Chain A
Amino acid sequence: MKSAILKITLMVGMVLFGMSSMLMAQTEEYTLDGMTFGMPEAEVYTEDYTGSPVVGEYVTQLPNLAPLDYEGNKHHEVRIDIIVQEIEVAEGVRYQAWTFGGTVPGPVLHVKEGDRITFVMKNRSDEEVTITEPNKGGSPFMNQVAENPYQKNSSAIMPMPHSMDFHAGTVAKDDKWRTIGPGETIKFDWVANYAGSYIYHCGTPSVLMHTAMGQHGMVVVSPKDGYPTDYEVDREYVVVQSEYYLTKGAGDLYTYDYEAASNNNPSHVVFNGHQTVLHDQPLKANAGERVRLHFSNNGPSGTSSFHVIGAIFDRVWLEGHPFNEMRGMQTVLLGASNSATIDFIVPEEGKYILVDHEFVDAEKGATGTLKAGPRKK
């Protein structure tokens, strides 16, 4: 009787779920215009992995960018697991974020045009993962967060299906960007064919909800021949703008506010995931220096009119592509998922305010400080 139940259960399961379709994958690699296409089929599997949620030498915490210390191209092995973290996004405002790697936005991946990335991601949304303790085998990101957990992370659980969509990758989304359930791992390759700064985000519907809950980050793909001003750059930072749609929940925590999200009415618009972090921890430079910002508007829904008070953008490469050069811009208008690589000269000692010049956003938090010391050269 009992084993009959076992058998029937298994059979029903096989019939219902065993036949789920196998995707036909493009596995033939080819080159076109010097770029590489046709990645092998993604693998989805379960693994007992309990190690560091973020692995990879060139993965850092905002606003840092890992230096590319290698010649030519490199094959990167990168892991960014999906974990749930209770985080602070403004004074007194905490919520259970859905994250890549434990922070919002997720870690910054830095690669070079033409690099190949083998990416692994486990959906650990059903597992408590601590990211604020020093760990072995992790990326620089892990140590930076342990030293400076500005979102005051604590582990949490909220099992949900998720996926990864790297805008820097050129692949079939129904294979590589596949949704995986809690406990599952996905592994796939992609090649950074185009230079620039690209967002990554969860593509599982509701995309609005998943992105607003915190699942987005940035990949910086440095051009293989660089930007014309590379030799003059003194400081390089990454800044990401994004929105939160939060409302006070039943307890102390805030929760997702569906109404606000569907009405484009964010509760907070922030730089680097926290309303005051870029004031509490200003970017640093000195008078006379050339500062480069890789700036991305990760949305999910808003636009950004990015400006630095007291500076003019000497060079702007829209989307970070070296061919898209503009000069002398006061403001860069970026739609959701647009980015720019921006150089400006810091004129004198003092404070420079980074701001979304759409002032409704600025007043919801989209501001930050660059603090300039006296001229050194």
Chain B
Amino acid sequence: MMRSLRNISALAALMIFVMTAFIPEIVFSQTARVLVPAGSFHSILPEVEGEPIVVDSFYMDETAVTNEEFLDFLKANPEWRRSEIPPIFTNNGYLKEWKSDMEPGYEKLGENRPVTRVSWYAANAYCADRDGRLPTLNEWEYSAQLLEFNTEAEMNKFSSGLINWYSGIDVNNLAEVGSTGIETTTGVKDQFGLVMEWVEDFKPIIADELSLDCGTVGRMNTLGSVYSYAASIRYITRMSFNAKITTGMVGFRCAYDEPAPSSQNQNGVSL
């Protein structure tokens, strides 16, 4: 795990160097898209064959979608407003904390905090509207483990902190996006420490065969590391959701096959 982490991060560092040298400066108007270069990682799902899992390069939002961004989406897409959304797409907790359809109530929720209490369907529609999609489970997980640690002890400390965080995410006091200081080597921020995130296939087919019981965490801990223990809690939690669930600890970000079109890089212009 450590070795592959190091290799990948070295590769990623090189890629970033190449990017910054040859690609014109990215203007951060909307959420910036970050290139996540192709690579591979070890899934913790014991039934997954053909390890390690290869992931093609893709782009992903640097940070999670905020309340303000989601409000923008609702302006243009009235059918996803709280009073309009068809019940097949959500349970009744959808945007529950918002003051009204078009009023998040920023004094309580903050414009730059991640939007939560959105169903998988709504997250999906948002990303489709942005010409993107939700990241796949493997893309998200691959990106998430592109963290750089100097020692194994450091990684274990980070990972046990992560497990503790999963036990008590403070959903009433979420921080702003980009503020956790947790950033992958490719520049994706807050995959940990802010909220959990929807992925496209959060309940992979294999989930049905996995018998969730007291041995599941052990069976998933194939890497024998604290990181994979933390990951198993994340996988299990995510798998137990259904697509209509809306909770205060689940937000999302989008993935894309293409870099942001140049028109999207102009200040104040959005599609």
Asked if A157 is at the interface of the complex by the 8 Å CB criterion, the answer is yes
CB <8 Å contact, A249 and B168: yes
Asked if A359 is at the interface of the complex by the 8 Å CB criterion, the answer is no
Complex interface: chain A residues within 8 A of B247 (CB):
126, 159, 182-183
Asked if B180 is at the interface of the complex by the 8 Å CB criterion, the answer is no
| CB contact list, B27-81 vs A, under 8 A | 77, 79
Least Cβ distance of A342 to chain B in Å? 28
Contact flags B236-254 to A (C-beta < 8 A → 1, else 0): 1100111101111110000
Asked if A13 is at the interface of the complex by the 8 Å CB criterion, the answer is yes
CB <8 Å contact, B214 and A209: no
Contact A161/B208 with A8-B128, A10-B88, A207-B214 known, Cβ cut-off 8 Å: no
8 example contacts (A-B, Cβ-Cβ < 8 A) are as follows A9-B121, A9-B125, A21-B208, A158-B167, A158-B171, A180-B240, A207-B217, A253-B168
Asked if A312 is at the interface of the complex by the 8 Å CB criterion, the answer is no
Asked if A256 is at the interface of the complex by the 8 Å CB criterion, the answer is yes
Contact A13/B168 with A6-B79, A48-B92 known, Cβ cut-off 8 Å: no
Which residue in A12, A174, A209 is a CB contact (below 8 Å) of B233?
A209
Asked if B212 is at the interface of the complex by the 8 Å CB criterion, the answer is yes
| CB contact list, B184-201 vs A, under 8 A | 200-201
Asked if A46 is at the interface of the complex by the 8 Å CB criterion, the answer is yes
Which residue in B125, B164, B201, B249 is a CB contact (below 8 Å) of A159?
B249
- Which of A72-80, A198-206, A290-298 faces chain B? A198-206
CA distance A163 to B237 in the complex (A): 12
Asked if A168 is at the interface of the complex by the 8 Å CB criterion, the answer is no
Complex interface: chain A residues within 8 A of B144 (CB):
none
CB <8 Å contact, B164 and A204: no
Complex interface: chain A residues within 8 A of B216 (CB):
205
Asked if A181 is at the interface of the complex by the 8 Å CB criterion, the answer is yes
Asked if B211 is at the interface of the complex by the 8 Å CB criterion, the answer is yes
Contact A9/B128 with A205-B216, A249-B168 known, Cβ cut-off 8 Å: yes
Asked if A232 is at the interface of the complex by the 8 Å CB criterion, the answer is no
Contact A259/B160 with A157-B172, A160-B237, A213-B167 known, Cβ cut-off 8 Å: yes
Contact A179/B163 with A159-B248, A205-B216 known, Cβ cut-off 8 Å: no
Complex interface: chain B residues within 8 A of A98 (CB):
167
Asked if B232 is at the interface of the complex by the 8 Å CB criterion, the answer is yes
Which residue in A96, A126, A209 is a CB contact (below 8 Å) of B248?
A126
Contact A174/B211 with A17-B203, A126-B248, A181-B240 known, Cβ cut-off 8 Å: yes
CA distance A16 to B239 in the complex (A): 12
| CB contact list, A10-61 vs B, under 8 A | 10, 12-13, 16-17, 20-21, 46, 48
Residue of A nearest to B201 (CB): A16
Residue of B nearest to A4 (CB): B128
Asked if A375 is at the interface of the complex by the 8 Å CB criterion, the answer is no
CB <8 Å contact, A5 and B208: no
Least Cβ distance of B158 to chain A in Å? 12
CB <8 Å contact, A179 and B248: no
Which residue in A17, A46, A184, A205 is a CB contact (below 8 Å) of B243?
A17
| CB contact list, A94-113 vs B, under 8 A | 95-96, 98
Asked if A2 is at the interface of the complex by the 8 Å CB criterion, the answer is yes
Complex interface: chain A residues within 8 A of B211 (CB):
174
Complex interface: chain A residues within 8 A of B226 (CB):
258
CB <8 Å contact, B79 and A2: yes
Which residue in B77, B129, B212 is a CB contact (below 8 Å) of A205?
B212
CA distance A180 to B247 in the complex (A): 13
Complex interface: chain B residues within 8 A of A257 (CB):
164
Complex interface: chain B residues within 8 A of A247 (CB):
164
Closest 4 CB pairs of A and B: A161-B240, A159-B247, A256-B167, A258-B163
Complex interface: chain A residues within 8 A of B246 (CB):
183
Complex interface: chain A residues within 8 A of B103 (CB):
none
Contact flags B204-220 to A (C-beta < 8 A → 1, else 0): 00011001111111000
Complex interface: chain B residues within 8 A of A3 (CB):
79
Asked if B120 is at the interface of the complex by the 8 Å CB criterion, the answer is yes
Contact flags A160-196 to B (C-beta < 8 A → 1, else 0): 1101000000000110000111111000000000000
Complex interface: chain B residues within 8 A of A180 (CB):
240
CB <8 Å contact, A203 and B91: no
Asked if B169 is at the interface of the complex by the 8 Å CB criterion, the answer is yes
Asked if A255 is at the interface of the complex by the 8 Å CB criterion, the answer is yes
| CB contact list, B138-157 vs A, under 8 A | none
Which residue in A96, A158, A174 is a CB contact (below 8 Å) of B249?
A158
Contact A96/B168 with A9-B121, A159-B250, A181-B240 known, Cβ cut-off 8 Å: yes
Contact flags A281-302 to B (C-beta < 8 A → 1, else 0): 0000000000000000000000
Complex interface: chain A residues within 8 A of B98 (CB):
none
Complex interface: chain A residues within 8 A of B248 (CB):
126, 157, 159
CB <8 Å contact, B168 and A161: no
CB <8 Å contact, A181 and B201: no
CA distance A2 to B75 in the complex (A): 13
Contact A181/B245 with A95-B168, A126-B93 known, Cβ cut-off 8 Å: yes
Complex interface: chain B residues within 8 A of A16 (CB):
200-201, 203, 243
Least Cβ distance of A194 to chain B in Å? 21
Asked if B124 is at the interface of the complex by the 8 Å CB criterion, the answer is yes
Which residue in A2, A96, A204 is a CB contact (below 8 Å) of B212?
A204
Which residue in B89, B167, B242 is a CB contact (below 8 Å) of A209?
B167
Complex interface: chain B residues within 8 A of A158 (CB):
167-169, 171, 249
Which residue in B77, B166, B237, B243 is a CB contact (below 8 Å) of A13?
B243
Complex interface: chain B residues within 8 A of A9 (CB):
89, 121, 124-125, 128
CB <8 Å contact, B121 and A10: yes
